[in-house]
Copies of this chain bind each other. A is one copy, B any other.
């Protein structure tokens, strides 16, 4: 029985997130609640649910359904989430992608690197 519990825990799994996201989400224009929403969508997807309903999201967050829907819409408008629509077998299949957020993260990383280089070069030239 103890083995079953341990294996059940093991199967819950993990998600792996770039350290840089934690140190730079503020610089990317996100607040704590927005990052958590994006990570929730990431986690749902990793567990096989690519298009959670506002109700499913609200179950895991401290916001109601309407608020969750509003946050998702705001993240779409700000370019952090993309809603993908596909028609396999002529049925609409929708999914959330947070790749745009990860693209912004890479852009932020390059910006940070370039700024660090400029500072370094200025110091070297003094």
Chain B: CB-nearest residue to A33: B32
Q: Which residues of B contact A35 (CB under 8 A)?
A: 36
Q: Which residues of B contact A95 (CB under 8 A)?
A: none
In the bound complex, what is the Cα–Cα distance between A14 and B19 (angstroms)?
5
B18 engages A106 (CB within 8 Å): no
Q: How large is the interface on A (under 10, 10 to 19, 20 to 34, 35 or more residues)?
A: 35 or more
In the bound complex, what is the Cα–Cα distance between A62 and B32 (angstroms)?
7
B6 engages A12 (CB within 8 Å): no
B62 engages A23 (CB within 8 Å): no
Q: How far is the CB of A104 from chain B (nearest CB, A)?
A: 11
Q: How far is the CB of A48 from chain B (nearest CB, A)?
A: 12
A62-106 interface bits toward B, Cβ cutoff 8 Å, 1 = contact, 0 = none = 100000000000000000000000000000000000000011001
